[in-house]
Amino acid sequence: MFAIVFDVSEKLGDFISNQAPIEKIIFDYYVNFIILYGNMFTSMIVFLSVIWFTTIMAKDTEIIPIWFSGKPLSRYLRPYFISATILMLFSLGINHFMVPRANKVRLAFEEQYYRDAMIVRDYHAEFPNNESVYFSNYNTSDGRVNDFTFQKWSENQKPKFFLKTRYALNEPNSKNWVLHDFYEKQFYPDSISIRHIQELDTTFDFSISDMAQRENTAETMTYSELKSFISRERLKGSAFVPLYEIELHQRTSYPFAAYILTLIGVSVASQKRRGGIGVNIAIGLGIVFVYIFAMKMLTVAALNVGFPPLLSVWIPNLFFAIAAVFLFRYSQK
């Protein structure tokens, strides 16, 4: 609810100026907004719930008799981890399949009623079958791809085809293109053919959506779609591949954090302290903030200094898992 209040205060002016319908604001945007952030904060909500519940048990002196009952400590932890497993599996499925579909609707709404026009400049990429594409700029407001250049090479890196146009238009959601004021070169073993045409309808194996994408486009893809997308982007040499890989790995690492935060929550809250619940929640929130800071710091490292995305996502879980074990050992004393 706090997140929605801040989001409304930030975007209300754009919604009004762009005449966004109230039903779309509610059902297309904020319902999916709740799905995204509700699931994102699942681990933290589980963590605070564990601290709240366990602190009350410790306050009522219910934990010490459990520990000295002769039962193994695993029996004390079993209900916590059964619950954490159920919530982790639920969050894992939502992360990989439900949230991407919700994001697709939410981001489509933002694109229409909130975001500025997207501009791409000096784009260059290699495509399969020895093809390369370049254009100087593209603006979603008019849909023009200026100075569009397409080249094709043979297996021995000799030119086969070259095309350059003043501007090109791509039909929405298709691979059909309209080229304006262009010339092409066709290379043969003993000659070169050149022609100039004012306008031509043609098709390519790609669309403008394959080239002009916002950084958050990976958020709209399910697991299998994102895996295929990363493979295609890697072939093109895209600089955003680490960002997409981080998105893929975070969808799994965040739900698994429920186990780690559950153990930390039990360890922190099992000790009876002066100040009761308030002190334990303060300690717990401090641990959560350190965890989030570590995740963000390693994400920046993966994007800017070439740190492997898989390690950047899982190292905080590994370190905090070790810390959780030590905290639990300490809490028993």
Taking 70 as the pLDDT cut, the residues of the chain under it are 117, 273-276, 332-333
Any idea what DSSP says for residue 131?
E
Instruction: Output the pLDDT for position 326.
Output: 86
Rounded (10°) angle between helices 73-93 and 42-59: 160
- Evaluate if pTM is beyond 0.85: no
Instruction: Kindly write down the DSSP assignment for every residue of 191-248, as one continuous string.
Output: -EEEEEEEEEEEE-S--GGGTS--GGGGGG--HHHHHHHHHHHHHHT-TTHHHHHHHH
User: In this prediction, what percent of the chain has a pLDDT beyond 90?
Assistant: 19
Are 219 and 39 in contact by the 8 Å Cβ rule? The answer is no
- Are 98 and 35 in contact by the 8 Å Cβ rule? The answer is yes
Position 83: which residue type?
A: S
Position 276 scores a pLDDT of 64
Q: In the prediction, which pLDDT does 98 show? A: 93
First and final C-alpha spacing in the chain:
40
Three-state secondary structure readout of 133-195: EEEEEEECCCCEEEEEEEEEECCCCCEEEEEEEEEEEECCCCCEEEEEEEEEEEECCCCEEEE
Over residues 77-107, the pLDDT tens digits come to: 899 999 999 999 999 999 999 999 999 999 8
Q: What is the tens place of the pLDDT at every residue in 234-282?
A: 877 777 888 888 889 989 888 888 899 899 888 888 877 666 677 777 8
> With contact defined as beta carbons under 8 Å apart, do 282 and 66 qualify?
no
Specify the pLDDT at position 168. Answer: 92
Q: What are phi and psi of 79, to 5 degrees?
A: -60, -35
Return d(Cα 134, Cα 146) in angstroms, integer.
10
Report pLDDT for 332. 64
Could you tell me the CA-to-CA distances from 223 to 33, 101, 209 in Å, in that order? 20, 11, 19
> Measuring CA to CA, which residue among 126, 121, 108 is closest to residue 238?
126
Q: Which pLDDT value is given to residue 111? A: 83
Residue 199: Cβ-neighbour burial (10 angstroms; 0-12, 13-18, 19+): exposed
> Residue 143, Cα to own-chain centre: how many angstroms?
26
